[in-house]
């Protein structure tokens, strides 16, 4: 491997050629805005994900003949916060046996539980070489483990070839592609395959019509009467409280809007006894360098803003079109952050689901990803999808124990999906 590639592990995003990184990203099947150099740089330089907060970066690059063939960002971590794939029990087991679990290595986008490519590569061979280089590097430095989170299919294939363990979890996504039948949803549970690379749609795409919803009422008509009635009741409560919404995207999001959003975002964390993961400066970097990837909803009571919801939007939909040169042109919105200064019944559902879904329908977006966890999202027509992470543990005995644990956990995930499929929010198609 060393003879084929020049391998570097760089301590700062500034040490990486941004143009080369983004060019490699554009060549991926589904380039994610969260893997743009500007996004990762903002996390680092804003003090959000840096050595001082327990995220020490190493930007890995593999070059062949002077060309960047593969790359990823790895973080050396002293904790497991901000990951959304939970390994606290593994860390506790290590501690109980007198073996240090930290520091560990993590390949992920900090604080961002969004499935997508994490191992950028020009070929399958280069991607597999990158995984093997990561494992070798971690082993040589005595790190306890390596974890790659929220991977796409190509990444999972490379990790499997390198002998890593696979772990699955469940998120909830909405698709603007017609109405899945109850029978089709039931079939999803029978086609669940724990060994599949990363079938994140769980077969659900096959059960949808090709047409998109005409408007929000058309979407509601696709739901069962119970779910349709519940959503209308929740929206009515917000309206009767005198709350309206306005939205702004890209350069139209004013600095005062960003300031108000951060007040809401920060308060949400503080009310739960935690400091926010992201600093105000991070969002300033987003406004300056990636404005086309953000959509902001602001809840108003009269002339007074009281809450906000920030949505990331895939750059396939932006005027630049930079990052979708080889993509499938699927326009995706990602539910990311929200907060409120006043409590209004059902305001969270309106700001984080109904307003974004209505916007997605109006603007032709095919998918809205609701983020980590949240079984309650199913009542709002976000359906379960499987996410995949991959893991390497240096300690042989613990690796065997974790492998047995993951086998049991995966059977539980399958049973959980079977249970969810019995609760389809969609009505029977005639």
Residue 321 has pLDDT above 90, yes or no: no
Cis status, amide bond into 103, omega within 30 of 0: yes
Q: Name the phi and psi angles at 296, rounded to 5.
A: -120, 125
Structure tokens given for 108 = 């992920």
Q: For residue range 169-187, what is the model confidence (pLDDT) as tens digits?
A: 999 999 997 644 443 343 3
| 187 compared with 382, residue with greater pLDDT | 382
DSSP secondary structure of 289-316: H-GGGEEEEEEEETTEEEEEEEEEE-GG
CA distance 169 to 394: 23
Q: What is the pLDDT of residue 375?
A: 86
CA distance 291 to 93: 43
Q: What is the pLDDT of residue 423?
A: 87
Range 141-169 burial, b when 16+ CB lie within 10 A, else e: eebbbbbbbbbbbbbbbbbbebebbbbbb
Residue 324 has pLDDT above 70, yes or no: no
CA angle in degrees (0–180, nearest 5) for 201-313-318: 120
Q: What is the pLDDT of residue 315?
A: 60
State the average pLDDT over residues 100-125: 97
DSSP H stretches of helix in 75-196:
88-96, 124-140, 153-161, 182-190
* pLDDT confidence band for 2 (50 / 70 / 90): very low
Q: Name the phi and psi angles at 340, rounded to 5.
A: -140, 145
What would you measure as the largest C-alpha separation in the chain, in angstroms?
68
Taking alpha carbons only, the member of 255, 112, 84 closest to residue 170 is 84
Q: Which residue has the tokens 């543990």?
A: 393
- Range picked from 130-144, 313-327, 367-381, 409-423 for highest mean pLDDT: 130-144
Q: For residue range 50-103, what is the model confidence (pLDDT) as tens digits?
A: 999 999 999 999 999 999 999 999 999 999 999 999 999 999 999 999 999 999
Q: What is the pLDDT of residue 178?
A: 63
* pLDDT confidence band for 218 (50 / 70 / 90): very high
Collect all residues with Cβ–Cβ distance below 8 Å to 88 and sequence separation of at least 6. Answer: 80
Residue 166 has pLDDT above 90, yes or no: yes
Helix (H) or strand (E) run with residue 194 in it? none
Other beta carbons less than 10 A from residue 15's beta carbon: 12
State the average pLDDT over residues 14-42: 96
Q: What is the pLDDT of residue 316?
A: 54
Q: For residue range 263-282, what is the model confidence (pLDDT) as tens digits?
A: 999 999 999 999 999 999 99
C-alpha neighbours within 13 Å on the C-beta side of residue 319 = 6
Q: What is the pLDDT of residue 249?
A: 97
Q: What is the pTM of this model?
A: 0.90
Q: Name the phi and psi angles at 348, rounded to 5.
A: -60, -45
Q: Which domains does the chain have, with CATH numbers?
A: 6-169+386-399 (3.40.630.30), 212-365 (3.40.630.30)
* pLDDT confidence band for 399 (50 / 70 / 90): very high
First-to-last CA distance in the chain? 57
DSSP secondary structure of 62-73: EEETTEEEEEEE
């Amino acid at each position: 491997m060393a003879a084929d590639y020049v391998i570097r592990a760089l301590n700062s995003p500034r040490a990486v050629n941004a143009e080369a990184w983004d060019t490699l990203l554009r060549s991926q099947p589904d380039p994610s805005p969260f893997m743009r150099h500007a996004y990762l740089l903002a996390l680092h330089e804003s003090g959000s994900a840096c050595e001082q907060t327990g995220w020490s970066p190493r930007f890995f690059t593999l070059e062949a003949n002077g060309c960047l063939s593969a790359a990823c960002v790895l973080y050396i971590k002293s904790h497991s916060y901000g990951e959304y794939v939970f390994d606290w029990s593994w860390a506790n087991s290590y501690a109980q046996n007198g073996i240090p679990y930290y520091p560990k290595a993590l390949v992920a986008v900090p604080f961002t539980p969004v499935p997508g490519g994490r191992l950028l590569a020009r070929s399958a061979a280069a991607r597999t070489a990158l995984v093997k280089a990561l494992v070798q590097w971690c082993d040589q430095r005595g790190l306890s483990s390596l974890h790659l989170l929220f991977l796409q299919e190509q990444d999972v294939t490379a990790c499997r070839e390198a002998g890593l363990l696979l772990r699955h979890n469940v998120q909830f996504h909405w698709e603007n592609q017609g109405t899945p039948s109850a029978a089709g949803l039931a079939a999803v549970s029978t086609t669940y395959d724990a060994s599949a690379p990363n079938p994140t749609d769980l077969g659900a795409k096959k059960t949808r019509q090709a047409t998109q919803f005409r408007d929000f009422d058309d979407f509601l008509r696709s739901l069962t009467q119970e779910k349709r009635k519940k959503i209308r009741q929740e929206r009515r409560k917000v309206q009767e409280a005198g709350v309206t919404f306005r939205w702004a995207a890209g350069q139209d999001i004013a600095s005062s809007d960003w300031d108000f959003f951060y007040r809401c975002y920060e308060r949400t964390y503080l009310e739960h006894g935690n400091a926010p993961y992201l600093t105000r400066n991070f969002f300033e970097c987003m406004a300056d360098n990636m404005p086309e990837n953000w959509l902001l909803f602001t809840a108003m009571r009269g002339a007074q803003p009281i809450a906000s919801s920030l949505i990331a939007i895939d750059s396939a939909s932006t005027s630049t079109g930079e990052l979708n040169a080889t993509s499938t042109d699927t326009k995706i919105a990602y539910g990311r952050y929200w907060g409120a200064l006043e409590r209004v019944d059902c305001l969270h559902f309106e700001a984080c689901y109904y307003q974004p879904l209505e916007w997605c329908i109006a603007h032709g977006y095919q998918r809205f990803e609701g983020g980590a966890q949240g079984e309650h999202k199913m009542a709002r027509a976000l359906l379960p999808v499987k996410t995949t992470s991959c893991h390497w543990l240096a300690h042989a005995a613990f690796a065997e124990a974790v492998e047995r644990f993951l086998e049991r956990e995966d059977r539980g995930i399958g049973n959980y999906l079977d249970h969810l499929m019995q609760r389809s929010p969609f009505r029977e198609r005639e």
